[in-house]
Amino acid sequence: MSQDEIESYYRKIRDTLFMPKIKESLKLLKFWFSPEEAFVLSKFKTPMMDSMSVEKMAKKTKLPEEKIREIFTRLEKKGLLFNYVNKKDNNKLYYAIPPLFPGLFEWFFSSKFVSPDIKREGAKIFHQLETEVFSDFASNYEISRVVPTIKGEKIIKLDQSVEPGQSQILLFEDVRQILENSWSIAVMPCSCRTYHGILGDACDRPIEVCINLNSVAEYVDRVGIGRKITIEEALEILEKSEKAGLVHIANNQSAKHTFICNCCPCCCGFLSLYNKYKFIKGAVAKSNFLPQVDDSICVKCKKCVKICPVNAIFIKYGSQEDLSDARIIIREEICIGCGLCASNCPNEAISLAKVRDVSDLENKLWAAAMRNRQEKLF
């Protein structure tokens, strides 16, 4: 392979993953993939969609099957190649290149098969393009959506302003239903807090809280990045996460969920950017709910103020020393509707009200990938 050919393989992967066209993007890909691996991976046109067996990739690249199997095995354990069992092809393993988020970043830094030194080197490289990568995704693609807290059946009430017949709780609005609708569940370490731990600036919130679902759960369990858990164990993780001030975030789809992240505002790339730039439209779509405060039972303990992940709550003091005329104010334009304030209120003075009914979801990154795939095919 000539140097120009090698560079073209890395550029193809960069464009397939929708990475910014800057030198740091290629630097990260060259760190992750050898020239031979880049040649093979450049054959995938769309993340997760263009899957191939070892035999099919061998024919496409004209490399021996054993060589492809060796490359695939090496990459999957490092979290750099997804696989699944294709029941339509005699339960044979099929492989696909993961998207950058969620996928390569999360699985690489959570993999138990990548040494601390390699992760440290990768973190330094990734840190060089972190702002460009996260901000580019956050400003263009709503790839994930806030899901209200696990205590939804206790705190969610339907606001009368929602038109009749439009106020049902949808699947993507109920984290418990998402779990019950999944046929496989696994947990793995939070990649964001792991990554920031390597950089030396991670928070002390729980690590083992990243929940994977369905085929993704099977993958992380199969390659040893995560481990399978029961619904009961998953619910315990979600409740623990809420108490720690973590936001439930799932992929932005009405069905076929693949993950429920439990995100902190300091380490999560997208939540931290939301706090920095206050994206109105971005990678993390708001839920359909807003908190409502019952002033008659609120004791102004300020637990909600402290736990809000996006600083959307403050206390407005009145003229009385006993705080009898003080009020908790929700900045609705900033609130993401996570429900942490409601689930952590010691007096149950906060409930969630359904104020909109956005059910026409689209994973914009997925849609862009499909358009890109069509352009490459024709």
In a domain, 37, yes or no: yes
Task: List the structure tokens of 283.
Answer: 């990678």
Tell me the pLDDT tens digit for each residue of 284-312: 788 999 999 999 999 999 999 999 999 99
Residues 311 and 266 sit within 8 Å (Cβ to Cβ):
no
Kindly state whether residues 282 and 146 are assigned to the same domain.
yes
Cα–Cα distance measured from residue 302 to residue 71, given in angstroms and rounded to the nearest whole number: 54
Describe the strand order of the beta sheet including 156-158 as a list of residue ranges. 156-158, 350-354, 289-293
Cα–Cα distance measured from residue 157 to residue 354, given in angstroms and rounded to the nearest whole number: 7
Kindly state whether residues 18 and 82 are assigned to the same domain.
yes
Residue type, 5: E
Residue type, 306: K
Alpha-carbon distance values, 174 to 117, 147, 150, 241, 301 (Å): 40, 7, 8, 16, 28
Mean pLDDT to the nearest integer, 12-29: 91
Residues 337 and 331 sit within 8 Å (Cβ to Cβ):
no
Kindly state whether residues 85 and 26 are assigned to the same domain.
yes
Kindly state whether residues 144 and 93 are assigned to the same domain.
no
Kindly state whether residues 169 and 264 are assigned to the same domain.
yes
Q: Quick one: which of 141, 145, 134, 144 has its CA closest to 277? A: 134
In a domain, 158, yes or no: no
Residues forming a β-bridge with 259: 212
In a domain, 45, yes or no: yes
Kindly state whether residues 281 and 176 are assigned to the same domain.
yes
Most confident of 6-15, 94-103, 273-282, 313-322: 6-15
Q: Among 98, 114, 131, which residue terminates a domain?
A: 98
Instruction: Residue 1: give the domain boundaries.
Output: 1-98
Tell me: pLDDT of 278 over 90: no
Kindly state whether residues 56 and 185 are assigned to the same domain.
no
Kindly state whether residues 148 and 81 are assigned to the same domain.
no
Phi, then psi, of 352 in degrees rounded to 5: -105, 135
In a domain, 68, yes or no: yes
Confidence (pLDDT) at 253: 67
Residues contacting 333, CB < 8 A, separation 6+: none
Kindly state whether residues 93 and 146 are assigned to the same domain.
no
In a domain, 201, yes or no: yes
This prediction has a pTM of 0.87
Kindly state whether residues 180 and 86 are assigned to the same domain.
no
The count of domains in the chain is 2
In a domain, 229, yes or no: yes
